[in-house]
Chains A and B, each alone.
Chain A
Amino acid sequence: MAKTKRTIGHSLLTKESSAGVLFTLPFTVGFLMFMIVPMGISLYYSFCEYNILSEPKFIGLDNFIKMFTDDAIYMTSLKVTFFFAFVSVPIRLVFALIVALILLRTTKVTGFYRAAYYLPSIIGGSVAVAILWKRMFAIDGVVNALLGKIGIETSFSWLGDKRTAIWVLILLSVWQFGSSMLIFLSALKQIPSNLYESARVDGAGKIAQFFKITLPLLTPTIFFNLVMQMINGFLAFTQSMIITQGKPLNSTLFYAVYVYQQSFEFYNTGYGAAMAWVMLALIGAVTGILFATKKFWVYEGGL
Chain B
Amino acid sequence: MRKKKIAGRIIYHILVCGFGLLMIYPLIWMVMSSFKETSTIFTTAGSLIPEDFQLDNYANGWKGFAGISFGVFFRNSLFISVAATIGTAASSAIAAFGFARCRFRGRRILFMAMLVSMMLPAQVLMIPQYLWYQKLGWIGTYVPLIVPYFFAIQGFFVYLMTNFIEGIPRDLDEAAKIDGCSYWGIFVNIILPLMKPALVTGGIFSFMWRWDDFLSALLYVNKSSKYPVSLALKLFCDPGSSSDYGAMFAMATLSILPAVCIFIFFQKYLVEGISTSGLKG
Chain A 23-51 interface 0/1 with B at a Cβ cutoff of 8 Å (1 = within): 11011111101110111011001000000
**A160 to B195 alpha-carbon distance, docked (Å):** 49
- How many residues on chain B are close to A (CB under 8 Å)? 99
| Contact A16/B237 with A23-B187, A39-B125 known, Cβ cut-off 8 Å | no
User: Whose C-beta in chain B lies nearest to the C-beta of A273?
Assistant: B127
Which chain B residues border A21 with CB–CB below 8 Å? 98, 104-106
Check A256 for interface membership: any CB of B closer than 8 A.
yes
Please report whether the interface of chain B is mostly helix, strand, loop or mixed according to DSSP: helix
Which chain A residues border B42 with CB–CB below 8 Å? 138, 140-141
Which chain A residues border B24 with CB–CB below 8 Å? 116, 119-120
Check A283 for interface membership: any CB of B closer than 8 A.
yes
A42, A116, A135, A182 pick with most chain B CB within 10 angstroms:
A135
B30, B219, B279 pick with most chain A CB within 10 angstroms:
B30
Check B184 for interface membership: any CB of A closer than 8 A.
yes
Which chain A residues border B30 with CB–CB below 8 Å? 128, 132
**A235 to B126 alpha-carbon distance, docked (Å):** 11
Distance between B186 CB and nearest chain A CB, rounded to angstroms: 9
Which chain B residues border A217 with CB–CB below 8 Å? none
**A145 to B94 alpha-carbon distance, docked (Å):** 53
Check B164 for interface membership: any CB of A closer than 8 A.
no
Distance between B164 CB and nearest chain A CB, rounded to angstroms: 13
Check A200 for interface membership: any CB of B closer than 8 A.
no
Of B104, B148, B256, which one neighbours A30 at CB under 8 angstroms? B148
Contacting pair B183 A119 (CB below 8 A): no
Of B46, B122, B275, which one neighbours A148 at CB under 8 angstroms? B46
Contacting pair B233 A131 (CB below 8 A): yes
Please report whether the interface of chain A is mostly helix, strand, loop or mixed according to DSSP: helix
Check B56 for interface membership: any CB of A closer than 8 A.
no
Check A222 for interface membership: any CB of B closer than 8 A.
no
Contacting pair A117 B23 (CB below 8 A): yes
Offer 8 A-B interface pairs, CB within 8 angstroms, sorted by A: A20-B103, A21-B105, A23-B98, A30-B152, A119-B23, A128-B252, A140-B45, A242-B214
| A-to-B contact residues, CB < 8 Å | 1-2, 4, 10, 13-14, 16-24, 26-31, 33-35, 37-39, 41-42, 45, 52, 102-103, 105, 107, 109, 111-120, 122-123, 125-129, 131-136, 138, 140-142, 144-146, 148-149, 175, 182, 185-186, 189-190, 227-228, 231-232, 235, 237-238, 241-242, 256, 259-260, 263-264, 269, 272-273, 276, 279-280, 283, 287
